[in-house]
Amino acid sequence: MSNSLFSVQDKTVVVTGALGQLGRQFSLSLLKGGAKVALIDIADDCKSLPAKFSDYFDKSRAIYVKSDVTSEASLQSALLDIEDKLGLPFGLINNAALDSPPNANSEDNGPFETFPLDSLEKTMGVNIIGVAKACQIFGSRMAEIGVGSIINIGSIYGMVSPDQSLYDYRRASGEKFYKPVSYSISKSAIYNLTRYLATYWSKNGVRVNTLTFGGVFNNQDNQFLTNYQAKVPLGRMANEDEYNGAVIFLLSQASSYMTGSNMVIDGGWTAW
């Protein structure tokens, strides 16, 4: 593995939102590939992780750092902890985000006309200010060292508008649910943060790219699945492990000429 073009051997990678559905996938596949992983999340502890992580924690290949990406002080202290325990950061996956799944409550996800601006601020706080802060703290350190790769996680809903007809079934049952504008705005902003930093740090050895994902299967209700799948050329949602390869690619030598880009993995959602 260590001589492979796709090697992440011994690279220290910071994953934010690491306890979530995709964060734990990225973390485990990186650990399996020989990377050292700092799992960051806002939860008090990482007891929710499956047992297969234990060995990596025991061997000090992985650490859990409770940290809030909206707090600069919390990220600064995370950096010190990570450098002390796992060494200088090479990779950063800005994965932590607030979203509204199809079964989210309609009080907080109502029509645009009355959409609460404090909810917009809260989402922007995590999904974009939190990403910018993590780039400031971890990315600046990488730029100082002269090497690194940052992956900002985007969504098809930041590239194109959500199709609100997917959620017709909820409105048909009397709930005023709409996929909220906050998620779309925040995920759109990721693209130019990526491009800005890719050019800004281009002489410092730090590459910055966006990975845009389509929806991931997570036991959504059948009406949603039927509606969603009809809009995907590949006819299904992604499985939760289907983005791991792209993460490995962007952190390895295989992507050495790639920066400022947007890699889209969406089963073809944005192709028609």
- Pick out residues in 113-132 that bind ligand NAD (CB under 6 A): 126, 130
174: left (phi over 0), alpha (psi -120 to 50) or beta: left
Stretch that binds ligand NAD, among 11-19, 109-117, 200-208, 221-229 (CB under 6 A): 11-19
Q: Which of 70, 106, 223, 262 binds ligand NAD (CB under 6 A)?
A: 70
> Which residue from 176, 188, 202, 21 is spatially nearest to 110, judged by alpha carbons?
176
DSSP alpha helix (H) spans, 59-179: 72-86, 117-124, 130-134, 140-145, 156-159, 168-172
**Total residues interacting with ligand NAD, rule: CB under 6 A:** 24
**Under a CB-based contact definition with an 8 Å cutoff, are residues 220 and 227 in contact?**
no
Stretch that binds ligand NAD, among 39-47, 56-64, 164-172, 247-255 (CB under 6 A): 39-47
56 binds ligand NAD (CB under 6 A): no
Query: Residue 63's Cα: distance from chain center in Å?
Result: 18
97 binds ligand NAD (CB under 6 A): yes
Stretch that binds ligand NAD, among 57-65, 68-76, 82-90, 161-169 (CB under 6 A): 68-76
**Quick one: the chain helix, strand, coil %, rounded to 5?**
45, 15, 40
Q: Which of 21, 164, 173, 270 binds ligand NAD (CB under 6 A)?
A: 21
Measured distance CA(8)–CA(36) in Å, rounded? 9
Stretch that binds ligand NAD, among 54-62, 78-86, 89-97, 164-172 (CB under 6 A): 89-97
**What does the binding site for ligand NAD look like in residue numbers (CB under 6 A)?**
16-17, 19-23, 41-43, 68-70, 95-97, 99, 126, 130, 153, 155, 213, 215-216
